[in-house]
């Protein structure tokens, strides 16, 4: 199925123009991601990045956990929302994109807040201790349900869980592939979980926000 445009490009551009602009380093990271990776569309955009930063600030988060670093855009944006002594742990399995992320973390004043853990995220999660104030899931869709099961216990009461791509270019309405069905199953899992209060937003490719009770 071809990729669906959930938000028209003109509206997306209008939203970007009326959102606080990121630092110049982010534009450079965007360019490097487009030139050196095979799936640059995996990178969050400036609007979603600004939204994540705002969520970190609004929740007064001090500890953030991210599953799916890619080239580091979202980690750097969320780190900007953390206090000076805040901590962000980000997990990824791809050494090539992690190398790009580490290079940009080193160039940012926010980079000292970030720890990148390379390896299968489910294994990394077993080594972490909570509580975390905010968790952002943006990785392989087939494991979304497993990631959820692993991270909910690590989040403090009143903390926030965020999952990206939960509308999956609209394919949640007519799922065909394994990843399509995985996203549908994940959304059903979240809404049935009595431990959280969820809301699914139509931001970019769909963002699930869930406050832990």
Tens of pLDDT, residues 143-168: 999 999 999 999 999 999 999 999 99
pLDDT (tens digit per residue) in 115-154: 999 999 999 999 999 999 999 999 999 999 999 999 999 9
Q: 3-state secondary structure string, 58-72?
A: HCCCCEEEEECCCCC
- pLDDT at position 158 is 98
Q: Which residues of 95-126 are buried (b: 16+ CB within 10 A; e: fewer)?
A: eebbebbbebbeebebbebbebbbeebeebbe
For residue 125, what are the β-bridge partners? Answer: none
Q: How confident is the model at residue 2 (pLDDT cuts 50, 70, 90)?
A: very low
Whole-model pTM: value is 0.95
Residue 1 has pLDDT above 50, yes or no: no
Structure-model confidence comparison of residues 6 and 110, the more confident one? 110
Mean pLDDT value across residues 88-93: 98
Q: What is the mean pLDDT of residues 26-44?
A: 94
Domains of the chain, CATH where assigned: 9-212 (3.40.50.150)
CA distance 98 to 88: 15
End-to-end CA distance of the chain: 37
């Amino acid at each position: 199925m071809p990729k669906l445009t959930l938000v028209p490009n003109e509206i997306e551009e209008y939203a970007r123009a009326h959102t606080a602009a990121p630092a110049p380093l982010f534009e450079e990271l965007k360019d490097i991601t487009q030139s050196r990776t095979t799936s640059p569309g995996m990178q969050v955009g400036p609007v979603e990045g600004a939204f994540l930063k705002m969520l970190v600030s609004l929740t007064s988060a001090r500890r953030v956990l991210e599953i799916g670093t890619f080239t580091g855009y979202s980690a750097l944006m969320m780190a900007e929302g953390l206090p000076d002594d805040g901590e962000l742990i980000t997990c990824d399995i791809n050494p090539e994109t992690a190398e790009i992320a580490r290079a940009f973390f080193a160039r940012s004043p926010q980079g000292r807040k970030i720890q990148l853990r390379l390896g299968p995220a489910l294994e990394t999660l077993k080594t972490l201790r909570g509580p975390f104030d905010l968790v952002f899931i943006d990785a392989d869709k087939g494991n979304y349900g497993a990631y959820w099961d692993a991270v909910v216990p690590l989040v403090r009461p009143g903390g926030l869980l965020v999952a990206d791509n939960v509308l999956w270019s609209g394919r949640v309405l007519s799922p065909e592939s394994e990843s399509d069905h995985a996203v549908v199953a994940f959304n059903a899992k979240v809404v049935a979980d009595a431990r959280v209060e969820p809301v699914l937003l139509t931001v970019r490719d769909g963002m699930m926000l869930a406050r832990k009770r």
